[in-house]
Structure 1
């Protein structure tokens, strides 16, 4: 298990630099498996480095896709897989471990296409407005997967909302619930930033929506 300060969603990337001894030992053990993977949970209180943090119970498997060695660390790239709930924490020695149960995977239904399109529009709008005030990891023009199921989870992952909102997305019991929650929170976020924007230009000095002059792909 790897407690982080952010929520990992299915089909979303995560990049880590492992330098603590406990996680290097964990990595060595993981590499003995045919498919190296680890669990990611959100930290409730505490910090990522040093141990002793309190953790939320919902999490996501991270499937390792790339590794590279550096001076004193190992860089790991992974992608979110199945969701799970921690049923019991084990001894952290030699590294964090837990017993888990997997959550039922959400299913895509074509009847949700209109809701998905509305949600995407709201998320992209929120990202565009939010970028005027704080640096955003994702551009409002970021490309999503062509697979609608993957794209829905990616919308949850890129929406400019807080970690607790993200955690509530992760616990959705249906695709309709997930999309509705993301739509509502993204709309709220856009309105909140727009209200601040109307009071004056953002710190970027612009008096219009930010230019979408680069692209990314998930």
Structure 2
């Protein structure tokens, strides 16, 4: 049985965030200063969702309905409604209903764990991890740079990531690949681990083609 929706402050962003990512924020807009005071005062997380149309500043933006929780780990108050936050994203959430923006964006949400689907095997995870490593090695060679260890590059060194869970492993991997907001959101919003694997493969195909084109000098 699905848990009851809970009301949550929401921060729409122009980038899609995946679980277990660092999220630094500089706050100066009054509505988000109010959000910070609310969350810090109550010790509550907020949600982050991708803006599908519009900008972070000014209001009136259109928002996607899948996001993540974000915990405020550090809040520096610079005065006059300006804050510097160091946050980290957590579990995936789904918007149930948008509420009036009074005084900041709010919605009722539920956690959205992976839905049942075709199993993702360790061999499939290793295959796409190898492709990501090959991409980074291609770039590093072109720049004369040295890569860190495989686990660091692939996001497997993060103790918060359960590498025995294929869905979480794919989230961690996707967070390291330089894909655009739309592709990152496709990975985030994939209902199951198997569908996330397909979305990540397609995104990786696109970014690999772009890198090869740029490095070829054409």
Name the TM-score, length of structure 1 as normaliser. Answer: 0.76
**Mapped contact 1:130–1:190 kept (Cα < 8 A):** no
Q: Indicate whether 1:24 and 2:42 are aligned.
A: no
Note closer, same or farther for the CA distance 1:26–1:174 as it changes in structure 2 (3 Å cut): same
Distance in structure 2 (CA, Å) of the matches to 1:19 and 1:45:
21
Name the CA distance, whole Å, in 1 between partners of 2:179 and 2:135: 9
In structure 1, the residue corresponding to 2:96 is in which secondary structure? strand
Q: What is the CA–CA distance in structure 1 between the aligned matches of 2:27 and 2:85, rounded to whole Å?
A: 8
Query: CA deviation digits over 1:15-59, x for unaligned, max 9?
Result: 11111111111111112334x210101011111111111111111
Q: Map 1:27-176; keep pairs closer than 5 Å.
A: 27-34=36-43, 36-70=44-78, 73-105=82-114, 112-127=121-136, 142=153, 144-146=155-157, 147-148=162-163, 149=165, 150-176=168-194
Q: Is the 8 A contact 2:45 2:71 kept in 1?
A: yes
How far is the alpha carbon of 1:101 from its aligned partner? 2.6
| C-alpha contact 1:66 1:76 (8 A) present in aligned 2 | yes
3-state DSSP of counterpart to 1:9? coil
How far does the alpha carbon of each residue in 1:131-166 deviate from its partner, in whole angstroms, 9 at most, with x for none?
899xxxxx8963623431444212112222221111
Aligned to 1:199: 217
Deviations 1:108-141 (A, max 9, x none): x9962222222222233444556899xxxxx896
Deviates more, 1:38-47 or 1:142-151: 142-151
The alpha-carbon deviation at position 78 of structure 1 amounts to: 1.5
Question: In structure 1, what is the equivalent of residue 5 of structure 2?
Answer: none
CA separation of 1:7/1:25 partners in 2, compared to 1, >3 Å: closer, same or farther? same
- Structure 2 runs not aligned, ≥5 long: 1-9, 143-147
Kept after mapping to 2: 8 A contact 1:37/1:63: yes
SS in structure 1 of the partner of residue 85 of structure 2? strand
Going from structure 1 to structure 2, the CA distance change for 1:14 and 1:128 (only over 3 Å counts) comes to farther
Report the TM-score when normalising by structure 2.
0.76
